[in-house]
Amino acid sequence: MKKLSYLGLVLMLLAGCSAGAETEDSASKEQAETKTADQTETADLAVNEDVYVPSAQITDDINLVKVGETVTDAKGELTLKAYKKVNKTVQVGPVNMVIKDVKVVHFVPDYSMIDFFHGYTHDEEFDFVKVSVEVSNTSNEAVQFTPVAFIQTSKGEHKTWEDDIYLEELTGDLQENDIKKGNMGFILEDGNDITSVDISTSDAVHGNGDVIEKAKKITVNF
């Protein structure tokens, strides 16, 4: 009888250990699944940080890459007149600048947008040149830099950064190890038959006003 009791006790202990192991395995599995889910969520957030954000005033042209095509939304109508995918990297001191693409477009703003553009032109519709860029400060100090300080078309028309209609805060201070992405656009008096655009950056300048490196000029041919 004692042997049977002892055997029963041993079986109960073994069953308890087995149940404990299963519980532990289940908890470990749950922790692993939670960790994987967290990693996936973190990765999704990292991707979302690079999401394209359309202009508040100008029709979205991200898919407008074929000359002659037109896109329309609530902000107006855009027609592509010239396009060049560039993806050219320019180094100005510690600033790494990538010119992604350059477009010349004809824009017919919606009536609700007219007041905004009256600060730049009194025309009801107009051409403009748009430069898409990414700039990064590779140093541990803030730098003053403007990716498109001025621009000149093959017809001799000249525009400065003060004429920019995108207003995406790409000019001025670029903090240490900071990255800015966006567009700068300039209304033209004549956007017909433009064969090239000269883009000039600003100098790269320390906060104390010392020039780190002089401006660079890039010519983009359509």
pTM: 0.75
Q: Each residue of 95-130: pLDDT tens digit?
A: 999 999 999 999 999 999 999 999 999 999 999 999
Residues in CB range of 185: below 8 A, 6 or more apart: 58, 128, 129, 130, 131, 164, 165, 166
Per-residue pLDDT tens over the stretch 132-169: 999 999 999 999 999 999 999 999 999 999 999 999 99
Contact between residue 194 and residue 82 where contact means Cβ atoms under 8 Å apart: yes
> What CA–CA distance (Å, rounded) separates 89 from 124?
36
CATH class, 70-221 region: mainly beta
pLDDT in tens, 162-178: 999 999 999 999 999 99
